[in-house]
Amino acid sequence: MRRGTWALIITMVLTACGGGDVGQRPPDTVRVENGEVRGVVHADRTVFQGIPYAPAPKGELRWRSPHRAADWEGVRDATKPGNPCPQVGSSYSPTRATDEDCLFLNVTTPSTAGRRPVLVWIHGDGAIGAGHHFDAAALATKGDVVVVTLNYRLGVFGGFGLPGLEGSGTFGLQDQREALEWVRRNIDSFGGDPGNVTLFGVSYGASATAAHLVSPASRGLFHNGDLPHWPAFGEGRHVQSLAPGAIIGVDYRAEHRLDSWGNE
């Protein structure tokens, strides 16, 4: 990302967020609603990666709305990022492993005392990639804010549209909303202020941010929205609704053998 773009992003989000209040320095191990997580302490920040915010959307949960992740025993290792979600795109290397078990988020918080504003970054790049590809270190330390990045379902898994399928076509957006719910319930454990959350992104991430800004279902989950890059509403054009085919009698489950999906 160019230096000028970084400067614009930092200026915009800090204007929206304001400053933080003095509080307690976050340790390398914190407790969230599901259990404890251990991150990595650096000189100027603490980083937690691969924290699940929803169950793996596979099997019976494929093409279903997300919900709260299950609890775990002991301390969960949060030193490495979780799997990227399955995706297509020429700019994303096919050698990188992806998996449907991919609904993870990452938290970067400065290693100094404070109760800080929170920035939630939605990755874009044509709806490919993963949350951990965004290096939040500079934004967190220079801006003195807590930064959350996240994965969400992409492509056919996030935008599949079929009449009769509850939540059809919006699963990726629902994942983002579930992550925002997690932030509201847990970010104070990382030194963040759940009452001062800014949502932002570029490219498809800006489009998603715009969608949440006008969605009644997302109301109250964040308090500011910044679009440092023009929303790319056309970047999801490869995901088409199947409603027209259903109207003329196309049996998609038979045609594409979808009846076997979800019976793993």
In a domain, 135, yes or no: yes
pLDDT tens column, 37-88: 999 999 899 999 999 999 999 999 998 999 999 999 999 999 999 999 988 7
Distance in angstroms (rounded) separating the CA atoms of residues 133 and 146: 17
Number of residues in the chain? 264
Coil vs helix vs strand at 151: coil
Q: What is the 3-state secondary structure (H, E, C) of 27-39?
A: CCEEEECCEEEEC
Closest CA to 16 of 114, 119, 144, 149: 119
CA distance 21 to 19: 7
CA torsion through residues 24, 26, 29, 33, sign: positive
Sign of the dihedral through C-alpha 228, 233, 236, 237: negative
Average pLDDT over residues 229-251: 52
The SS3 call for residue 92 is coil
Grade residue 169 by pLDDT with cuts at 50, 70 and 90.
confident
Q: Give the mean pLDDT of 256-260.
A: 39
Do residues 45 and 34 touch, judged by C-beta distance below 8 A? no
pLDDT, tens only, 81-115: 999 998 876 455 555 678 899 999 999 999 655 78
Whether 198 is in a domain gets the answer: yes
CATH number for the domain including 198?
Answer: 3.40.50.1820
Question: What is the average pLDDT value for the chain, to the nearest integer?
Answer: 80
Contact 152, 176 (CB under 8 A): yes
The answer, yes or no, to whether residue 8 has pLDDT greater than 50, is yes
Q: What is the mean pLDDT of residues 201-205?
A: 86
Residue with the two structure tokens 């990666």? 49
Q: How many CB atoms lie within 10 A of CB 4?
A: 8
With a cut of 50, say whether residue 261 has pLDDT above it. Answer: no
> What confidence tier does 33 reach under pLDDT thresholds 50, 70, 90?
very high
Tell me the residue range of the domain where 217 lies: 3-18+28-260
Q: What is the predicted pLDDT for the residue at 36? A: 96
User: Do the beta carbons of residue 198 and residue 120 sit within 8 Å?
Assistant: yes
Within-domain flag for 39:
yes
Is the pLDDT confidence value at 163 over 60?
yes
pLDDT band at 174 (very low <50, low <70, confident <90, very high): very high
Kind and range of the H or E element at 6?
helix 3-17
Give the 3-state secondary structure of residue 17. helix
The answer to whether residue 69 is domain-embedded is yes
Q: Is the pLDDT of residue 209 over 50?
A: yes
Q: Which tens digit of pLDDT belongs to each residue from 107-143? A: 999 965 578 999 999 987 777 788 888 889 999 999 9
Q: What is the average pLDDT across 227-245? A: 54
What is the C-alpha separation between 131 and 146, in angstroms, rounded? 15
Which pLDDT band holds residue 150 (cuts at 50, 70, 90)?
very high
| Amino acid symbol at 188 | D
What does the radius of gyration of the chain's CA atoms come to, in whole angstroms? 19
Report if residue 236 sits inside a domain. Answer: yes
**What's the CA gap between 85 and 91, in Å, rounded?**
15
Lowest mean pLDDT among 14-23, 96-105, 156-165: 14-23
Determine the pLDDT at residue 14: 54
pLDDT at 25 over 50: no
Please, are residues 212 and 225 in contact by the beta-carbon 8 Å criterion? yes
- Edge to edge, what strands does the sheet with 29-32 contain? 29-32, 35-38, 75-77
Cβ atoms 107, 66 nearer than 8 A: no
In a domain, 23, yes or no: no
Please state the domain count of the chain.
1
Percent of the chain having pLDDT more than 90?
Answer: 49
